[in-house]
Structure 1
C-alpha cells in the first residue's frame, strides 16, 4: 500500500468510491455527527449570511445541505472537489444557490481565484495530505479568498486518549499552522480545539484586513 507521504491525496477517496460509490463513507468521516460538528464550528466562528462561500474539497455537498437545513442565509455556495463522481452526486441534490465544480485544487488553483469567494472553507480536505502539500493548498486558498479562510485539521496537540489516526489520515503540526496563519493574516487569527474530546481536531480562522 502506498504511504500517506507519497500517495495522491485524492487516492483514498477514489478507493472508497470504487467500493461504495457516493455513500457517506466516501467523505472518510467516521460518522455524520462528527462531520456536522465541524460544520457547527464554522457557523459559530465565521459570519456567513449573505456571503459567497467556497467549500474546497466539498465531496457530496454535505455542508451546503447542512447550511440549508439549519436555515443559514448564505449568499452563494461554490463546492469544488477532485472527484467528478461526487460532484455529479452533489449536483443531483439540486440544492438552491449552489454551484459544484470538478477540479483538483492542487493542480488547478486558479479555480479558487476565479470563484472570487469571500469565505473559503476546508473541512477534512487536509486530512490525507502531508504538511508541505497542505501548506501549498492553504497558500492558494488564502490568496484567493476575499475576506476569510477557515480550515480544520487533525491536531498533533491532541491528548493521549484522542482517537488514533491510521492511514490515510495524518495529524498536522498545529503550532506551525498557527504561526503560518498569524504571519499571513497579520495576527488576525482564531484557533479552536475544544469541540472534540482530547482536542482531536482543530480549526483555524484567518481574516484579511
Structure 2
C-alpha cells in the first residue's frame, strides 16, 4: 500500500508553492542545490557525450542546475509520472520529458540514470523496484539520494546507508556513498563493474 496519494501529495504542493523547490516538497532551493551538487560530483567530469535520464525529474530543476554551471549532457531525458510536472519541465528545459511510471513502465536505455528525491515517499518495495529498474536501464550507473534514518515515518521513506550498500552488493555494483553534506540525507552511486573496466 502506498505511503501517500502521490498525485494529491504533489498537486497540493504545486498549487500552494508553484514552480519552486517547495513545490516538489524540498525545504528550500538551497538544500535542493546542495543535493544536486553531490549528485553532479558522482557523475563523470565530462557529461557532453553522455545520455542522462532524470527519473522523477519534477520541474527539470537538475537540468537547469547543470545549465547554470555551463554544462549540458549529450542528451537529457526527464521522466515523471505527473502530467503537470512534465509540462513545466518541458517548458523550462526545452528537452524531451516523458510521462512515465518508473516502477511499471519499460525504461529507455541511457549511460546514466539519476534521481533526486523521487523515492522519498515510496514504500520499501517500491524503492527497491525503482532502484533495480533504473540500474538495469543504465549502461554505466545510477546515482540517487535518499533520506537517512530509521524507517519509522508514515509519509517519508528513510534508509540507512548500510542497507543500500547491501543492495549494491546484491546487484554486483561498485557502490560509493556520500554523507555529511546535509543532516538526514545521503547520496549513492551504483556503477556497473564492467563499465568501470572499459
TM-score category, normalised to shorter length: 0.7 to 0.9
Give secondary structure in 1 for the equivalent of 2:110.
coil
Pick from 137, 143, 167 the counterpart of residue 150 of structure 1.
143
Q: Give the deviation of 1:125 after TM superposition.
A: 0.9
Q: Classify 1:10/1:104 alpha carbon distance in 2 versus 1 (closer, same or farther; 3 Å).
A: farther
Q: Give the deviation of 1:187 after TM superposition.
A: 4.8
Residue pair 1:91, 1:100 contacting (<8 A) in 2 also: yes
Q: Which moved more, 1:187-196 or 1:120-129?
A: 187-196
Q: How far apart, CA to CA, are the structure 2 residues paired with 1:123 and 1:23?
A: 15
Determine if the alignment matches structure 1 residue 39 to structure 2 residue 50. Answer: no
Q: Which moved more, 1:50-59 or 1:22-31?
A: 22-31
Give secondary structure in 1 for the equivalent of 2:187.
strand
Write the deviation string for residues 151-194 of structure 1: whole angstroms up to 9, x where unpaired: 1000117xxxxxxx96632312331111101221x351101112
Pick from 87, 101, 104 the counterpart of residue 104 of structure 1.
101
Pick from 168, 180, 196 the counterpart of residue 194 of structure 1.
180
Residue pair 1:22, 1:85 contacting (<8 A) in 2 also: no
Pick from 26, 31, 34 the counterpart of residue 29 of structure 1.
26
Q: Classify 1:180/1:35 alpha carbon distance in 2 versus 1 (closer, same or farther; 3 Å).
A: same
**C-alpha root-mean-square deviation of aligned residues, in Å?**
2.1
Q: Classify 1:9/1:106 alpha carbon distance in 2 versus 1 (closer, same or farther; 3 Å).
A: farther
Q: Which moved more, 1:129-138 or 1:170-179?
A: 170-179
Higher strand share: 2
Which residue is equivalent to 1:161?
none
Q: Aligned pair count?
A: 190
Q: Classify 1:10/1:204 alpha carbon distance in 2 versus 1 (closer, same or farther; 3 Å).
A: farther
Structure 2: gaps spanning 5 or more residues:
none
Q: How far apart, CA to CA, are the structure 2 residues paired with 1:38 and 1:180?
A: 21
Q: Give the deviation of 1:62 after TM superposition.
A: 0.5
Q: How far apart, CA to CA, are the structure 1 residues paired with 2:173 and 2:102?
A: 26
Q: How far apart, CA to CA, are the structure 1 residues paired with 2:50 and 2:185?
A: 25
Q: How far apart, CA to CA, are the structure 2 residues paired with 1:10 and 1:152?
A: 21
TM-score (normalizing by structure 2): 0.86
Q: How far apart, CA to CA, are the structure 2 residues paired with 1:79 and 1:24?
A: 17
